[in-house]
Amino acid sequence: MRNKKCLMMLSPLEMPTHPYASVPQLVTWLRANGRPTDALDLNLEFFWWLIEKNEEKSLFAAAWEELKDLNAREKLAGEEAWRFASLYRIFQFLDYLSLVPDKAFFEKGKYRSLYLMTANMFPPLAVPLKKDGANESISYEYATVKYRGDANYASSASLVASIEKGSILDEFFEDFLSKRILHEDYLFVGISVPFFSQCEPAMRLARAIKRMNPGVHICLGGNYVGLHLSHTENPDVFKYIDSLSVGDGEIPLLELGGELESPCPDMGRVSGLVYLEGGKVRRNPRGSFVPLDQIPVPDEIFDRSRYFNPAGDSFIRIRFSEGCSWGRCAFCNLAGCGLFPLQRPDENKMFEKIRTLVNRGEKILYLGDDESDIDALERFAKRVIAEGLVFKWETNIRFSPGVTLEWAMLMRQAGCNGLAIGLENYDDRLLRHIEKGTSVALIDQCLENLAWAGVPVMAYMMVGLPTESEEEARRSFGRLIEKVRGGYIKSVFYSLYAVSRDSPIDRNPGKYGVTLPPQDPELDLRPGYGVFEHSGMSHKKAVELQLEFTEKIAEVNATLHFTEKQGQYLFVKEGSPRSAENAPVPGMISWQGESLTLRGDAEGISLKTYDPGALTKLRIIKDQEISLDG
């Protein structure tokens, strides 16, 4: 049978606020090229399954007991305070929603978005999940979701061993997939793995599918696969996975479908494919890619009303360009890895894509360019204004002399709602050393112009750069915090520098004063180097400064606290699941008919703990063992 149907999936776990762009784009492309394709966002479906599972009172029972224990302790500090705050938020919301004892919440479709739970750092994700001896957790950590099992994501052997242990994900896959794919005869199943924390869930997913349908071809792709998993020489990786796709997937997936339907399939003819042949890992050379202006506008593949997006943030991600025109930053692997070629497609065709989306009803768009061209954005903005298109949009740029006041005002007038910019460091010597191509004077001028125009800026910063001293780091931070206080920068993401593989520093460490340690052969998936030798501050000091700087920024900047304004917006009166007379009693919380009088400082602990600084501090502490790109 020709033109058999295939299935494209997004793997758990990431924030379920919108589908990652890869699957809608690939599904639209495959359908447009004659390949019938189904789509599943298992990331979204897992959250719905997990929360609905909680109706059975099984997953939260231990969490309730833990909350009671923490509530009774005299003092809470460190991770105990974070756990208490998380559990407190969980049961505060569950109490409000009246999930127990009835199921009214789930019977009323208008509440199925669970926007109340996403309003304040997705509290259900703090519950530790344990099944059959596995140690796993899902947590919200600084605007993202992290899944942690037993696996080391830099080790193929560790990943292979980990997925054979029991997991709550296995239970989900069995429940969900058995109802949807057990009787489907798919030609192949593609699983998108954008981020490293999705790799173990994706491999578990492949295992579950093979148990239901041993003959279906399973192919994994995405950034994590291209940058890390595809480098494995471990044949055990392919126990449940038939192939890995490296680079853009449009052409390889069409080729894969053609070969699988051929009387004599030859995987050697599929560009960019990594697979097992004769017990050895084979790698096909990558072929050509489809230019961005030839990729159709993604269809409405998924039901957006089911996503956890209470603030109405951008749901559609689209690229106006790809790659970086500068491509010389010493810390960056964007150009060196070879997976993101520079593309500046036909602007007229790209604008027509934007027009199509706006005419379709999109109000907010995220232009996910690695670096949007300043001149192209100016032409884009003028056309938006001239044609009267009304929508908000955000994108990423570099600090450039082209960011004039006139340019910034034009962006604002055309609906620009935010710009993310890699500031990296606020010291001229360090900026020269990492070959950023910017200066303190240029940064100051750009920020001044953007502030006058009212364009919000989100800045990326790093600490612990090669040869950076503590004095330089503090001077850089001092300049930054003044810009935050002055309203020039809306938000900051402060990261701890690690050497990315394929970056200029990785390829020529001596040039940048760096000595890289020998890497453990067990870590075969090419992780970065979190710890390295150089003449600057120690790694320990860099970690301390990252924590210090992040906490100080959180004190100044707007936090993610659950405010009265949010409450007015989210706790809608019409059709509220609780009437006023049955509203929760302040200072008390209930679960399964049992009431708990909360400690006097419960709300204070929650507010203090659930801010960007504290969440990032937790992430930093937990992520020190290993650094992975992308």
Type of residue at 621? I
Could you tell me whether strands 316-318 and 364-367 are parallel, antiparallel, or unpaired per DSSP bridges?
A: parallel
556 and 569: one domain? no
What confidence category does residue 59 fall into, taking pLDDT thresholds of 50, 70 and 90? low
pLDDT at 609 exceeding the cut of 70: no
What would the mean pLDDT of 226-254 be, rounded to a whole number?
Answer: 96
Please tell me the predicted confidence (pLDDT) of residue 130: 44
Strand partners, 148: 137
- Assess if residue 485 is contained within a domain: yes
Residues 333-373 pLDDT 10s: 876 677 677 888 899 999 999 999 999 989 899 998 889 99
- Assess if residue 137 is contained within a domain: yes
Q: How far is CA 330 from CA 154, 511, 558, in A?
A: 23, 10, 32
Q: Which of 141-150, 229-238, 488-497, 595-604 has the lowest mean pLDDT?
A: 141-150
Rg (CA), the chain: 25
% of the chain at pLDDT higher than 70: 78
In the chain, helix, strand, coil percent, each to 5? 40, 15, 45
Q: Which of 16-20, 208-212, 440-444, 541-545 has the lowest mean pLDDT?
A: 16-20
Output the CA torsion sign for 360, 349, 23, 194: negative
409 and 455: one domain? yes
487 and 425: one domain? yes
CA proximity to 187, closest of 2, 377, 426: 2
User: Is there a contact between 424 and 464 (Cβ–Cβ < 8 Å)?
Assistant: no
- Assess if residue 153 is contained within a domain: no
Please tell me the predicted confidence (pLDDT) of residue 624: 42
176 and 251: one domain? yes
Token code pair at residue 58: 């099984």
State the Cα–Cα distance between residues 403 and 522, nearest whole angstrom. 46
State the Cα–Cα distance between residues 7 and 251, nearest whole angstrom. 16
264 and 412: one domain? no
User: Is there a contact between 155 and 523 (Cβ–Cβ < 8 Å)?
Assistant: yes
401 and 442: one domain? yes
State the Cα–Cα distance between residues 92 and 96, nearest whole angstrom. 6
State the Cα–Cα distance between residues 494 and 462, nearest whole angstrom. 6
State the Cα–Cα distance between residues 63 and 41, nearest whole angstrom. 28
Phi, psi of 454, rounded to the nearest 5 degrees: 80, 30
115 and 182: one domain? no
| Polymer length of the chain | 630
576 and 437: one domain? no
State the Cα–Cα distance between residues 428 and 373, nearest whole angstrom. 24
pLDDT at 586 exceeding the cut of 70: no
Type of residue at 25? Q
More confident residue, 104 or 217: 217
State the Cα–Cα distance between residues 36 and 38, nearest whole angstrom. 7
73 and 29: one domain? no
140 and 254: one domain? no
What would the mean pLDDT of 222-250 be, rounded to a whole number?
Answer: 95
Q: By three-state DSSP, how is residue 419 classified?
A: strand
- Assess if residue 102 is contained within a domain: yes
Please tell me the predicted confidence (pLDDT) of residue 96: 52
CA proximity to 616, closest of 468, 439, 495: 495
The three-state (H, E, C) secondary structure of 118-173, written as one string: HCCCCHHHHCEECCCCCCEEEEECCCCEEEECCCCCCCHHHHHHHCCCCCHHHHHH
89 and 207: one domain? no
- Domain range for 469: 314-562+616-622
Residue 279, domain CATH: 3.40.50.280
Residue 504, domain CATH: 3.80.30.20
Q: Which residue, chain included where needed, has tokens 């209930």?
A: 590
554 and 586: one domain? no
State the Cα–Cα distance between residues 134 and 126, nearest whole angstrom. 16
Cα 132 to the center of its chain, rounded Å: 28
Cα 232 to the center of its chain, rounded Å: 24
Please tell me the predicted confidence (pLDDT) of residue 432: 98
What would the mean pLDDT of 592-603 be, rounded to a whole number?
Answer: 84
Residues 372-413 pLDDT 10s: 999 999 999 999 999 999 999 999 999 999 999 999 999 999
Please tell me the predicted confidence (pLDDT) of residue 535: 95
- Assess if residue 487 is contained within a domain: yes
More confident residue, 311 or 554: 554
- Assess if residue 541 is contained within a domain: yes
What confidence category does residue 93 fall into, taking pLDDT thresholds of 50, 70 and 90? low
- The number of folded domains in the chain is 3
Type of residue at 554? A
Element at 324 (helix H, strand E): none
What's the pTM value of the predicted model, to 2 decimals? Answer: 0.82
- Assess if residue 298 is contained within a domain: no
- Assess if residue 288 is contained within a domain: no
Please tell me the predicted confidence (pLDDT) of residue 58: 55
